């Protein structure tokens, strides 16, 4: 089964610049352009980091369409279209496909959860409905359910299910997935602190939060690894570890929104139930951003 690789390297799980009035498209467009000019390998729109869960349906669709048009085929665009309502996910995925998204990111059903059988049925329903690549997204810390390696392996047989973003944090589980799906599915790290470990298991890259503020560096980390400079890639992983951890000291995307705001990329505005970053945490984040060479 010869499946397409959606991207190799670093994809930014891009923030959605918001104001009280809605999406700030001027800043969204500028952010997209800067990411691509910096050498990022793909863009994921309206995922977790893009606050897709609190966008209205109209905003969600508009953001996908805008991102696709602004990117204009410069890099792949992956649309976050997963939901705990499978019918909605199918409908949104069809829309994203119709406006030109290159692939879909399908989070496991959250809150109502699902059995392993239900996870398969939900993902296959979307994959059957569109002629676009689908990337599974396993993030049990948010969804309350864990997609097991055997479940992933079963879905790897579907021609449109081409990859998984693995954010369980469990390297043993990721290794088992790699063993079971080798040659049938690509693996992307869903955690910035595990980029190099996942690449060492045959991963194709990362869907990153860090790259919102360090796109060139996150992409370079992957490029170094793929070029055989494993020591250099490992050094970058470790050098950025404290900054990465601080970007998750409060629930994502609270810290990265604060970081982007400090860089003038957006307002420091997140929608309820999220609230702006605590000031002591923000000051520590700014310190680490300066240490990484950012002018904030």
The average pLDDT across 1-22 equals: 94
Active site residue 240: no
Contact 78, 44 (CB under 8 A): yes
Instruction: For residues 27 and 30, give the distance between their C-alpha atoms in angstroms, rounded to a whole number.
Output: 5
pLDDT per residue as tens digits for the range 63-105: 999 999 999 999 999 999 999 999 999 999 999 999 999 999 9
| CATH number of the domain that residue 141 is part of | 3.20.20.70
The average pLDDT across 113-117 equals: 95
Q: Does the residue 239 lie in any domain?
A: no
Which of these is catalytic: 165, 204, 223, 257? 165
Q: Does the residue 216 lie in any domain?
A: yes
Which spans in 72-159 are helix H? 86-98, 116-129, 140-143, 149-155
Q: Which pLDDT score, from 0 to 100, does residue 1 have?
A: 64
Angle 39-108-124 from CA coordinates, rounded to 5°: 95
Q: Does the residue 278 lie in any domain?
A: no
The CB-side HSE value for 83 (13 A sphere, CA atoms) comes to 19
The total number of structural domains that make up the chain: 1
Question: Going by DSSP bridges, is the β-strand pair 18-19/22-23 parallel, antiparallel, or unpaired?
Answer: antiparallel
Q: Does the residue 21 lie in any domain?
A: yes
Q: Is the pLDDT of residue 2 over 80?
A: no
Q: Which pLDDT score, from 0 to 100, does residue 15 have?
A: 98
| Number of other CB atoms surrounding residue 85 within 10 Å | 13
Q: Does the residue 69 lie in any domain?
A: yes
Token pair of 118 as six digits: 């239900």
Which of these is catalytic: 28, 65, 132, 137? 137
User: Considering the chain, what is the average pLDDT of its residues?
Assistant: 97
Residues in the chain: 296
Q: Does the residue 284 lie in any domain?
A: no
Angle 186-191-195 from CA coordinates, rounded to 5°: 65
The domain containing residue 112 runs over which residues?
9-229
Q: Which pLDDT score, from 0 to 100, does residue 138 have?
A: 98
Number of H helices, E strands in the chain: 13, 10
3-state secondary structure of 168: coil
Q: Does the residue 73 lie in any domain?
A: yes
Q: Is the pLDDT of residue 114 over 90?
A: yes
Instruction: For residues 289 and 265, give the distance between their C-alpha atoms in angstroms, rounded to a whole number.
Output: 14
Output the CA–CA distances (angstroms, integers) from residue 149 to 36, 82, 120, 164, in the order listed: 33, 19, 12, 11
Among 5, 8, 6, 4, CA closest to 204: 8
Active site residue 28: no
Q: Does the residue 132 lie in any domain?
A: yes
Instruction: For residues 220 and 228, give the distance between their C-alpha atoms in angstroms, rounded to a whole number.
Output: 12
3-state secondary structure of 192: helix
Radius of gyration of the chain (CA): 18
Token pair of 115 as six digits: 């059995």
Contact 6, 101 (CB under 8 A): no
Contact 256, 209 (CB under 8 A): yes
Instruction: For residues 255 and 140, give the distance between their C-alpha atoms in angstroms, rounded to a whole number.
Output: 20
């Amino acid at each position: 089964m010869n499946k397409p690789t959606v991207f190799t390297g670093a994809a930014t799980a891009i923030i959605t610049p918001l104001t009280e009035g809605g999406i700030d498209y001027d800043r969204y467009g500028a952010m997209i352009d800067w990411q691509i000019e910096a050498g990022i390998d793909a863009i994921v729109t309206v995922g977790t980091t893009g606050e897709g869960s609190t966008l209205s349906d109209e905003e969600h669709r508009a953001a996908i369409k805008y991102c696709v048009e602004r990117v204009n085929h410069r890099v792949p665009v992956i649309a976050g279209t997963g939901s705990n309502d499978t019918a909605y996910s199918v409908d949104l995925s069809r829309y994203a496909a119709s406006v030109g998204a290159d692939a879909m990111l399908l989070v496991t059903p959250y809150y109502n959860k699902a059995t392993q059988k239900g996870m398969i049925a939900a993902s296959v329903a979307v994959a059957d409905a569109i002629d676009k690549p689908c990337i599974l997204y396993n993030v049990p810390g948010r969804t309350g359910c864990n997609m097991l390696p055997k479940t992933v392996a079963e879905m790897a047989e579907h021609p449109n299910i081409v990859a998984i973003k693995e954010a369980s944090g469990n390297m043993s589980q990721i290794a088992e997935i790699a063993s079971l799906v080798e040659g049938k599915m690509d693996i992307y790290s869903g955690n910035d602190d595990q980029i190099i470990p996942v690449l060492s298991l045959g991963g194709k890259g990362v869907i990153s939060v860090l790259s919102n503020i360090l796109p060139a560096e996150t992409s370079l980390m992957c490029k170094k690894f793929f070029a055989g400079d494993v020591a250099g890639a490992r050094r970058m992983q470790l050098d950025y570890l404290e900054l990465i951890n601080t970007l998750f000291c409060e629930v994502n995307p609270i810290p990265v929104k604060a970081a982007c705001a400090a860089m003038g990329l957006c307002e420091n505005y997140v929608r309820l139930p999220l609230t702006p970053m605590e000031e002591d945490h923000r000051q520590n984040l700014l310190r680490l951003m300066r240490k990484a060479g950012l002018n904030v």
